[in-house]
């Protein structure tokens, strides 16, 4: 039997504790209904017998204390709320235990921004990780040794798992069920909980906000120029000349400051504007394309799908109810 330890951290989001418990105990029910033995022993593990969450509105009663659990097979780190640096500080006692369990062979999975606590262990250094796209800038600043893939829903690296934002962690839970209980149980769970199985990307949900917390003023001005001139065709050479910086040096500085090349940034700003048009206006795809400075239909659709994972028409049909 697989021992699953769901950590009841301080600042935990209650749903990300209840949902994995529901998933793994539900699979046990499916197995028993099929005449098979249950596979998962699920326990809520904390530093205290009772952990109060969401400003004391809810309390969770743990099944076991952290100090008493010497061996487990799968550690689930829930999403956390509030300031991430503060949340990590309040949960420092979990870090050596998580490291120890991983070294003893346990798998570790973080849900949504629980990735911050997983990254704080150092286990993700030099590896890839998923998390909520909205916290991407902060995550990269706090954990520069970790490669954040903010478009991906599930990431697996040597027994370390992480999920995309919000309820996309259900897809990671399905992934873990399939790995340990088989494809049939994963399909059963996806049907029972009305989940889209094998969803890979959270790209359609990402809202691009240019990274401006850096101190490189000429690059900030270049970003603002790009954002103020969405309908224009802007080249890297034009930007470099405008701010009196050599092209190669400008590209290096831009990438360092924003985590995007100038071309990537221009594309993402234009596509974000296009998404807003497609969500709320009655304009057709070609009209939106021209509004954001594209004249080549194929090029626009290619870039749009690369960034969002959907074609412009698919995106409009998904998010616009007035078109």
Q: What residue ranges define each of the domains in the chain, with the CATH number in brackets?
A: 2-202 (3.40.50.880), 217-319 (1.10.10.60)
Tell me: pLDDT of 175 over 70: yes
Tell me: pLDDT of 157 over 90: no
The span from the CA of 142 to the CA of 88, in Å, is 11
Tell me: pLDDT of 199 over 70: no
- Nearest residue to 291 (alpha-carbon basis) of 235, 233, 231: 231
Give the pLDDT band (50/70/90) at residue 50. Answer: very high
> The tokens of 184 are what?
């049939």
Percent of the chain with pLDDT over 70: 96
Give me the mean pLDDT over the 262-285 stretch. Answer: 91
pLDDT of residue 120: 97
State the average pLDDT for the chain.
91
DSSP 90: H
Predicted TM-score of the model (pTM): 0.70
- Nearest residue to 262 (alpha-carbon basis) of 239, 244, 241: 239
- Nearest residue to 265 (alpha-carbon basis) of 295, 297, 229: 229
- State how beta strands 128-129 and 64-65 pair: unpaired
Tell me: pLDDT of 166 over 80: no
Strand partners, 136: none
Counting Cα atoms < 13 Å in the Cβ hemisphere of 25 gives 11
pLDDT of residue 203: 59
């Amino acid at each position: 039997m697989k021992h699953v330890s769901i950590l009841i951290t301080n600042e935990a989001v209650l749903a990300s504790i209840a949902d994995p418990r529901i998933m793994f105990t539900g699979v046990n029910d499916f197995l028993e209904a099929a005449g098979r033995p249950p596979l998962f022993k699920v326990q809520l593990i904390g530093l205290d017998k009772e952990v109060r969450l969401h400003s004391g509105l809810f309390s969770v009663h743990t099944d076991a204390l952290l100090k008493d659990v010497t061996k487990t097979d799968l550690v689930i780190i829930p999403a956390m709320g509030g300031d991430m640096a503060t949340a990590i500080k309040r949960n420092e006692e979990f870090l050596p235990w998580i490291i120890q369990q991983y070294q003893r062979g346990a798998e570790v999975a973080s849900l949504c921004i629980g990735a911050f606590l997983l990254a704080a262990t150092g286990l993700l250094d030099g590896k890839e990780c998923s998390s909520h796209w909205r916290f991407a800038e902060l995550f990269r600043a706090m954990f520069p040794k970790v490669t954040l893939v903010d478009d991906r829903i599930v990431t697996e690296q040597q027994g370390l798992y992480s999920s995309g934002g919000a309820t996309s962690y259900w897809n990671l839970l399905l992934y873990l069920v399939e790995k340990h209980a088989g494809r049939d149980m994963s399909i059963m769970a996806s049907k029972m909980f009305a989940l889209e199985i094998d969803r890979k990307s959270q790209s359609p949900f990402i809202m691009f906000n240019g990274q401006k917390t850096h101190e490189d003023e000429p690059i900030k001005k270049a970003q603002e120029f790009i954002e103020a001139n969405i309908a224009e065709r802007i080249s890297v050479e034009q930007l470099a000349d405008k701010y009196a910086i050599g092209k190669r040096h400008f590209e290096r500085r831009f990438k360092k400051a924003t985590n995007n090349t100038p071309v990537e940034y221009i594309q993402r700003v234009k596509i974000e504007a296009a998404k807003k048009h497609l969500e709320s206006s009655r304009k057709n795809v070609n009209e939106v394309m021209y509004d954001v400075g594209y004249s080549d239909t194929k090029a626009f659709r290619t870039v749009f799908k690369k960034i969002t994972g959907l074609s412009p028409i698919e995106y409009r049909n998904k998010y616009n109810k007035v078109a």
